[in-house]
Amino acid sequence: MAFQKGVAQTIQIICYDSETPTDPDTPVAYICADDDEEFTETTNAPVVVGSGLVTLGLTAAEMNYDSFTIKIESEDLEDQMVSFYTEAAYTATRAGYLDAAISTRSIFDPATDIVKAKDHEGNPFITDEDVASGVWGAEKREVTGGTVDDISGRDLTNLDVAVSSRAVAGDAMTLTGGERSNIATAVWGATTRTLSSFGSLASDAAAAVWSAVARTITGGAVSSVGGKTLDNLDVAISTRAPSGEYDNEMAHLDADVSAVPGNVWGHTTRSLNVPIPTEISARDRELIA
């Protein structure tokens, strides 16, 4: 806040001892204009009010500076200094700026009044459609006032290009040169592929494999499942046993089995590994009797 310039004022200053408001002992006030380098004692002495508050009455002459600093010296505190600013009183001319008659101001009412636009020749547009028609109907538009570094300058440069030098739609739709023309070849030619997500692919593949009536196993290393399965299936039929040999073996087996009882009971002597009991049991006696 600024004080009025050239008018006597009473100012207030709070004196501190470090951070504590403290009453100064035997204070003396000095004033110095900010465009001066020397402090001079004020006309009036400062008055201690209490709780560190000091009041000082300044004369009109002392208030006739644009800005000034007050210094309070005392026996118990360090010098206390505060700066103040002044402002000239309102003149009749300045006051007249505020005292303008309402009738001198614009009476434009945005709710009822109409603003009419004009074309580049100064002719007013009658309707909104005329404005749009005038803008879009112009055969030539010039962008002026722009430099190369600003938007209008760049727009002007970019627009000033022959149409024949621009690309046609087909250029952006045709794959030419480089890897763009070999996308399919590059994809299918890759020896390994990493699938990040299968979804139902795994189950569908398994169902298709196991439900196939015939399967052809090709390739596969010797140590792989496919390789071993292929080796085991790829055996010449001529190396397998004919059915006749199987029938002969079964006939020999039947003959040997039928001869077993005769061979057993036909022996005149037999060796028993388990000793025969020497006493006849009571049950055996009953059977003998």
What's the confidence (pLDDT) of residue 288?
A: 66
Tokens 């399967």 map to which residue?
Answer: 215
What's the confidence (pLDDT) of residue 76?
A: 93
What's the confidence (pLDDT) of residue 232?
A: 64
Would you say residue 35 lies in a domain? yes
What's the confidence (pLDDT) of residue 150?
A: 55
Would you say residue 185 lies in a domain? no
Angstrom distance (rounded) from CA 188 to CA 43: 102
Would you say residue 209 lies in a domain? no
- Domain range for 13 is 3-87
pTM: 0.34
- H/E stretch holding 286: helix 282-288
Angstrom distance (rounded) from CA 262 to CA 266: 6
Tokens 């015939």 map to which residue?
Answer: 214
Tokens 């052809």 map to which residue?
Answer: 216
What's the confidence (pLDDT) of residue 31?
A: 93
Q: Are 1 and 82 in contact (CB under 8 A)?
A: no
Domain containing 49 — which CATH number? 2.60.40.1930
Angstrom distance (rounded) from CA 53 to CA 121: 72
Would you say residue 147 lies in a domain? no
Within a 10 A sphere around the Cβ of 227, how many other Cβ atoms? Answer: 14
Q: Is 98 helix (H, G, I), strand (E, B) or coil?
A: helix
Tally of domains in the chain: 1
Would you say residue 64 lies in a domain? yes
What's the confidence (pLDDT) of residue 93?
A: 67
221-262, pLDDT tens digit by residue? 555 565 566 666 655 555 666 666 666 667 666 666 666 666
What's the confidence (pLDDT) of residue 71?
A: 95
Tokens 């009025």 map to which residue?
Answer: 4
173-200, pLDDT tens digit by residue? 555 555 555 777 777 777 777 766 555 6
Which parts of the chain sit beneath pLDDT 50?
A: none
Would you say residue 221 lies in a domain? no
Would you say residue 109 lies in a domain? no
Would you say residue 40 lies in a domain? yes
What's the confidence (pLDDT) of residue 51?
A: 93
